[in-house]
A and B are shown apart, each in its own frame.
Chain A
Amino acid sequence: MWDHEIRAMASSHAIIAASVFMATVLPAVVLPGFSVYGSHLLWIYSVSGAVTAVSVAVFWLLGITPPTKKHTLGYKLSRLFRSCLYFFLSCLFFHTVVVLYGAPLIESALETFSLAVLLTSLTTLRCLCVLGPNVQAWIRVFSRHGAMSVWDTCLQITVACTVVGAWVGAFPIPLDWDRPWQVWPVSCSLGAMIGFLTGLVAAPAWIHYHRKQLTYKCK
């Protein structure tokens, strides 16, 4: 039914996954002493930067972002500004949640915030790209039976996978194995990343296999 859209989704996901891969490999080649564990914060920033840039470009080129009503420059600027604001607020939100989960409040605030930035660029940024800075639409998509298009379903799946990945990533922290990836926040950010990649693969596949059952209400 939505073959065209599914194909577009699969290819865009492939591009995003490739960007994650490049963001891990390129600095390792260019910068001496770069590694995923050793310079973890650098890796987080490189990956989130790459994902941000590539998703914005891909979704803008695909034209999924809801059409703006007005075409004035001022309106566009205000949208851009609001998007940035939401991005920052979402970073703060994730930071708060992670602290509530028991991350130290002051000691490793930078690490915690980096994790929040990564989570934001993997989840909130996609929402911003697909739905625009429109909180009502977000609430709609994330409530039960709220998806109105293939892209909404895809968004649900990737966001859920990322968050669950980060959640599962916290499990090995109490184990006394003394491995480098048990250091805060390596396991969580790796978990989020793996969850995100899984989501990228799972979303088109799931939609492809359930395309007969999926029905969407019109707007």
Chain B
Amino acid sequence: MKVRSSVFASFILIFEVIGVALFLRGFFPVPVKSSFSSKSSLSDLPAEPLTGSSPNSSRLPQPLFKRVVIMLVDALREDFVFGPNGRMFMPYTRHVVERGSSHSFVAKARPPTVTMPRIKALTTGSIPGFIDVVMNLNSPALLEDNLIWQAKTAGKRIVFYGDDTWVRLFPKHFMEYDGTTSFFVSDYTEVDNNVTRHLDSTLKRDDWDILILHYLGLDHIGHISGPHSSLIQPKLLEMDDILKKIHSALISKEAEGSLPYLLVLCGDHGMSETGSHGGSSEPEVNTPLVLISPAFKRKVGMEQPGVVEQVDLTPTLALGLGLPISQNSVGRLIQGVLEETSLRDQLRFLHLNGHQLSCLLKDSVLEYEKDPGFEQFRVAEKAHGNWMKLYLEGNTSEVLTNMGKKVLKQYLEALAAMSSALSKQLGKYDMYSMIAGMVFVFQLLLVLLLAMPEALSGGAAVDLPVLSALLSLPFYLLCLLLASVHVLVCTSAESSCYFCSLSWGLVFAAVAFSSAMFCILVSIATRRLPLGPKIHGKSPLRSSGGEWSLSELDVLLLAGTVGHTLSLAASSFVEEEHQTWYFLLNTLCLAVFQDVCRKYFREKRGSGEEEEHLLPSKDSHASDHPKAEMYSEKWLALATPPFTLVCCRLLRSLNQTGVQWAHLPDVGHWLNSSEHRMVLSLLSAFCLVLIYLLVQRRCSWVSKVALALGLLGVYSYRAAVGNVLFPWQHAGRTTSKGTVEARFVYVFVLGILFTGTKDLLRSQIITADAKLKSRGLWEIYSGLVLLVSLLFRAHNLPVLCCCLLIQTLMAQFIWKKLHYDAAQTTIMHYWFGQAFFYFQGNSNNIATVDISVGFVGLESYVEAPAIFLTALSTYAGPLLWACHLVCYLSSERDRSPVAVGHGCYCLALLRSVPAAAYIVLVTVLRYHLFIWSVFSPKLLYESMHLLLTAGVCLVFNTMEQSHSSSKS
């Protein structure tokens, strides 16, 4: 079966995406969950252990607190309260911590340190998996057993003010609520005032039991200007005042005889030195936890705060309020809270916590009985029973107290052991699914690689022996073998496995596909074998000519691709991947510069019988032109690579990204500060004009007008949102969401895309007009540019501008004039695309994904467009370069008719090699210390990029299809 290279490449990519998806499903662990979907209730609480007689009451001990106020300050870092500056930032809190009746701890948050998973962790006590962040950009209602649900069921009245994530997670749980969106990161006063304004009236009332406040302002300041900005101190002083207000109100309300109150000050996550969060560095993970209640002992001076897990707050609060601990909680009781209660109650609380943990352990660990924590718990429970027996007999001796203390210690040890065993569960991988996915991807990659000589030949078609493979005996034998392996693995597997839980039809399809691929692989390999040694040394880039020599540029392109793939094995190189790409791109530009110099300077010397032989077309072409034009062209061509280099250097300092140098000041931050708004406005206006000038050249006049209006709309959108100044803006105008302006732009984007598609269709169906067709393609491209310019932040518009400028110059003076072939051009486009991905401020960390893009032009969160827009703006760089590649290669069709096919094949190869290599690396490094913080976000980025490339290859495919149809 003969297949065109582009069809072949897209086919391979699509199946690779499926393979990678299977791998991802196996790689990201499913969070520890109890097998019962129900929620724990008071009735199934265990009885207090008592040896000898029948168990006595199963009731909970008296709750410790009557009212609880939780004040959650987003991105409150531990050193803001406990650090040397704490006295200055939060004087009252510090006073309470040092002298008041309080307990203070450093609570460790688990990565990903992003608000939504942190809220889930605080309320359910479980540790949300990494994949939770990605799957739940929109947070639907939390269905798991959680503290809020328990409180509501127990009849507690809950009041909530703050981040509306809570409202979405817990709909109908709150008696009274007011959610504020964290929509505008630039706003850090209004969000907090929206919370505080309710405070006075609420604190006066008596009709609530739990009050939750979530302040967002500090987080926003961190995102804008980092943890050392001058805005931090006033904000923290404001928070301190609020805490003082709540505390004094609670003190004044307190009545004799009733239960005491509890005031909790905590942070959901910290902030890094750059002010962002999401990773697992110390300042991001360490948050303060201050518990204030008259039930505690008064402190006598600053002590080093103890370290607890963030999830430990959940069982503590649950037991403190007399509620059952939620089922999936892996936290353990903070023992300090119990210090003033009787020993009996203390033991009872610890027993309840231990019982809940052991139930969870039973559900999630297969051999739970051998777990040391579980054994310890059993021993402690027995000792507890003995102690109870003595206690109830009225023994009050010293011995009993000591014995009780020993039981207490045993309980604490058991809790620690069980909690850590449960946390370790998170690191279990579904190896069978991973290996299955890996095998798929590698088979496909090998087929792709082996088909290289054919795919890059003049015919650009690959001969796949599908039919002979399907009818061969080895195929059926392999099918049987793989199916039996599957059955064997699935029946003997101890832990749950995704690939086994698939339906039989799907599994059989996968098995048949895999064995067919294997047969094809073998038959292609045997076809290559006689030529083996010859092909081995041959470069893919020069295979058409049959030459052995590689130019310096080819060596660089190959070495760069291979070197980049290898560099992914080091965590630092993954964190600083942008450096790799900038470095390679720079070297590429210098190599191109050398090529250009060589061409033009040797020509000038006129000593070239060789050039005439090398570039006959060029010389004959040049002689037609007037001398002056050639001269200017020469200097423009010579200036292009240095200009590109300068552009790249400037863009590099626009957004500092990565980890090691991310804290350095960059131009982007400078532009975004409020005193430079004028500069930003001028810059973005200039960029928009330049974008218009660069894009309109090849559009029809309708699209020209639409583009101009659309770009005007982009500027007014930015003005409406408040990023840039409008010349005739009213002074008193407040910032809005800019929905109208954004929709205005969307209309023009759709219009331009429509015109482009119409042109394309017309060129295919009615007239086989190449000119109309390239115009249609360009119009689609310009629609994309307009959309991206709307989605990019104002300070990122120069990135788009430089991208277009470099594309124009390179296409005009370098790629065409120096006769680079399709493969070389594709690799260059790919490198530029990768570099621009990082120029726009992305990194291999989830935290840099700009989710606010998903709201542009929308009133509220709508899942599909939000995901689409976020993906588009994140991958704008690679996408724009890939689209330009399509435009460029199809305009080059008269020079080389198979250029599009070659380009598509090269793009597929360039993407699948690092993706496949990375999958293996991640599997090998799965117990690496940085697997969750560094390698797995990168894995998600890689797979997303693979998916997008598959999409681009499909576009290539249609383009080539239309070529062949217009040819015939």
The residue of chain B having its C-beta at the shortest distance from the C-beta of A170 within the complex is B583
The answer on a CB contact under 8 Å between A99 and B649 is yes
Q: Is B508 engaged at the interface, CB distance under 8 Å to the other chain?
A: no
Residues of chain A within 8 A (CB-CB) of B573 are 174-175
The answer on a CB contact under 8 Å between B610 and A145 is yes
Q: Is A144 engaged at the interface, CB distance under 8 Å to the other chain?
A: yes
For B576, give its contact among A100, A140, A170, A174 (CB under 8 Å). A174
**A206 nearest CB across to chain B (Å):** 17
The answer on a CB contact under 8 Å between B660 and A176 is yes
The answer on a CB contact under 8 Å between A175 and B652 is no
The answer on a CB contact under 8 Å between B646 and A100 is yes
Which one, B58-66, B221-229, B598-606, B767-775, is touching chain A?
A: B598-606
**B442 nearest CB across to chain A (Å):** 28
In the complex the two chains form, what is the Cα distance from A113 to B652 in whole Å?
A: 21
Q: Is B96 engaged at the interface, CB distance under 8 Å to the other chain?
A: no
The answer on a CB contact under 8 Å between A102 and B610 is no
Residues of chain B within 8 A (CB-CB) of A145 are 610
Q: Is A59 engaged at the interface, CB distance under 8 Å to the other chain?
A: no
The answer on a CB contact under 8 Å between A144 and B598 is yes
The residue of chain A having its C-beta at the shortest distance from the C-beta of B594 within the complex is A142
The answer on a CB contact under 8 Å between A136 and B605 is yes
In the complex the two chains form, what is the Cα distance from A173 to B658 in whole Å?
A: 14
Q: Is B956 engaged at the interface, CB distance under 8 Å to the other chain?
A: no
A 99-144 contacts with B by CB, 8 A: 99-102, 136, 139-140, 143-144
The answer on a CB contact under 8 Å between B579 and A143 is no
The answer on a CB contact under 8 Å between A102 and B579 is yes
With A97-B590, A101-B586 already in contact, the answer to whether A174 and B579 are too (CB < 8 A) is yes
The answer on a CB contact under 8 Å between A174 and B649 is no
B 531-583 contacts with A by CB, 8 A: 570-573, 575-576, 579-580, 582-583
Residues of chain A within 8 A (CB-CB) of B590 are 97
The residue of chain B having its C-beta at the shortest distance from the C-beta of A174 within the complex is B576
Q: Is B645 engaged at the interface, CB distance under 8 Å to the other chain?
A: yes
With A136-B605, A175-B570, A175-B573 already in contact, the answer to whether A102 and B660 are too (CB < 8 A) is no
In the complex the two chains form, what is the Cα distance from A42 to B119 in whole Å?
A: 56
The residue of chain A having its C-beta at the shortest distance from the C-beta of B601 within the complex is A139
The answer on a CB contact under 8 Å between B598 and A143 is yes
The answer on a CB contact under 8 Å between A102 and B598 is no
> Chain A 127-168 against B: per-residue CB contact (8 Å), 1 yes, 0 no?
000000000100110011100000000000000000000010
The answer on a CB contact under 8 Å between B587 and A167 is yes
The residue of chain B having its C-beta at the shortest distance from the C-beta of A99 within the complex is B649
In the complex the two chains form, what is the Cα distance from A140 to B610 in whole Å?
A: 13
B 709-748 contacts with A by CB, 8 A: none
Most chain B beta-carbon neighbours within 10 Å: one of A100, A167, A173, A175: A100
A 75-101 contacts with B by CB, 8 A: 97, 99-101
Tally of A-B residue pairs with Cβ under 8 A?
Answer: 45
The answer on a CB contact under 8 Å between A174 and B598 is no
For A100, give its contact among B570, B575, B649 (CB under 8 Å). B649
Residues of chain B within 8 A (CB-CB) of A144 are 598
Q: Is the interface of B mostly helix, strand, loop or mixed?
A: helix
In the complex the two chains form, what is the Cα distance from A143 to B601 in whole Å?
A: 10
The residue of chain A having its C-beta at the shortest distance from the C-beta of B573 within the complex is A174
**A146 nearest CB across to chain B (Å):** 9
The residue of chain A having its C-beta at the shortest distance from the C-beta of B590 within the complex is A97
For B645, give its contact among A100, A139, A170, A175 (CB under 8 Å). A100
**A179 nearest CB across to chain B (Å):** 12
The residue of chain A having its C-beta at the shortest distance from the C-beta of B602 within the complex is A143
Residues of chain B within 8 A (CB-CB) of A174 are 572-573, 575-576, 579-580, 658, 660
The residue of chain A having its C-beta at the shortest distance from the C-beta of B586 within the complex is A101
The residue of chain B having its C-beta at the shortest distance from the C-beta of A97 within the complex is B590
The residue of chain A having its C-beta at the shortest distance from the C-beta of B664 within the complex is A104
The residue of chain B having its C-beta at the shortest distance from the C-beta of A176 within the complex is B572
The answer on a CB contact under 8 Å between A100 and B572 is no
Residues of chain B within 8 A (CB-CB) of A143 are 598, 601-602
In the complex the two chains form, what is the Cα distance from A98 to B294 in whole Å?
A: 64
The residue of chain B having its C-beta at the shortest distance from the C-beta of A107 within the complex is B664
In the complex the two chains form, what is the Cα distance from A150 to B576 in whole Å?
A: 43
In the complex the two chains form, what is the Cα distance from A176 to B583 in whole Å?
A: 18
Most chain B beta-carbon neighbours within 10 Å: one of A102, A140, A144, A170: A102
In the complex the two chains form, what is the Cα distance from A145 to B583 in whole Å?
A: 28
In the complex the two chains form, what is the Cα distance from A145 to B551 in whole Å?
A: 13
In the complex the two chains form, what is the Cα distance from A100 to B590 in whole Å?
A: 10
**A100 nearest CB across to chain B (Å):** 5
The residue of chain A having its C-beta at the shortest distance from the C-beta of B649 within the complex is A100
**B566 nearest CB across to chain A (Å):** 11
Residues of chain A within 8 A (CB-CB) of B660 are 174, 176
With A175-B572, A175-B573, A176-B660 already in contact, the answer to whether A100 and B586 are too (CB < 8 A) is yes
With A145-B610, A170-B583 already in contact, the answer to whether A102 and B601 are too (CB < 8 A) is no
**A71 nearest CB across to chain B (Å):** 28
Residues of chain B within 8 A (CB-CB) of A175 are 570, 572-573
**A145 nearest CB across to chain B (Å):** 7
In the complex the two chains form, what is the Cα distance from A174 to B579 in whole Å?
A: 8
Residues of chain A within 8 A (CB-CB) of B648 are 100
Residues of chain B within 8 A (CB-CB) of A102 are 579, 582-583, 586, 649, 652
B 587-628 contacts with A by CB, 8 A: 587, 590, 597-598, 601-602, 605, 610
The residue of chain B having its C-beta at the shortest distance from the C-beta of A101 within the complex is B586
Residues of chain B within 8 A (CB-CB) of A173 are 579
**B194 nearest CB across to chain A (Å):** 42
Residues of chain B within 8 A (CB-CB) of A136 are 605
Residues of chain A within 8 A (CB-CB) of B602 are 139, 143
> Chain B 631-659 against A: per-residue CB contact (8 Å), 1 yes, 0 no?
00000000000000110110010000010
In the complex the two chains form, what is the Cα distance from A97 to B583 in whole Å?
A: 12
B 659-718 contacts with A by CB, 8 A: 660
**A150 nearest CB across to chain B (Å):** 21
In the complex the two chains form, what is the Cα distance from A117 to B652 in whole Å?
A: 25
**A25 nearest CB across to chain B (Å):** 33
In the complex the two chains form, what is the Cα distance from A139 to B601 in whole Å?
A: 8
Residues of chain A within 8 A (CB-CB) of B652 are 102
Residues of chain B within 8 A (CB-CB) of A139 are 597, 601-602, 605
**A115 nearest CB across to chain B (Å):** 16
In the complex the two chains form, what is the Cα distance from A140 to B598 in whole Å?
A: 9
The residue of chain B having its C-beta at the shortest distance from the C-beta of A136 within the complex is B605
**A135 nearest CB across to chain B (Å):** 10
Residues of chain A within 8 A (CB-CB) of B601 are 139, 143
In the complex the two chains form, what is the Cα distance from A156 to B645 in whole Å?
A: 25
**A160 nearest CB across to chain B (Å):** 10
Provide 27 A-B residue pairs closer than 8 Å at the C-beta atoms, listed in order of the A residue. Answer: A97-B590, A99-B649, A100-B586, A100-B646, A100-B648, A100-B649, A101-B583, A102-B579, A102-B582, A102-B583, A102-B586, A102-B652, A136-B605, A139-B601, A139-B602, A140-B605, A144-B598, A145-B610, A167-B587, A170-B583, A174-B572, A174-B573, A174-B658, A176-B571, A176-B572, A176-B575, A176-B660
Extra contacts besides A102-B583, A139-B601, A174-B580 (8): CB < 8 Å: A97-B590, A101-B582, A102-B582, A139-B597, A143-B602, A176-B571, A176-B572, A176-B575
5 cross-chain pairs, A with B, having the tightest CB-CB distances, nearest first? A174-B576, A175-B572, A176-B572, A100-B645, A174-B579
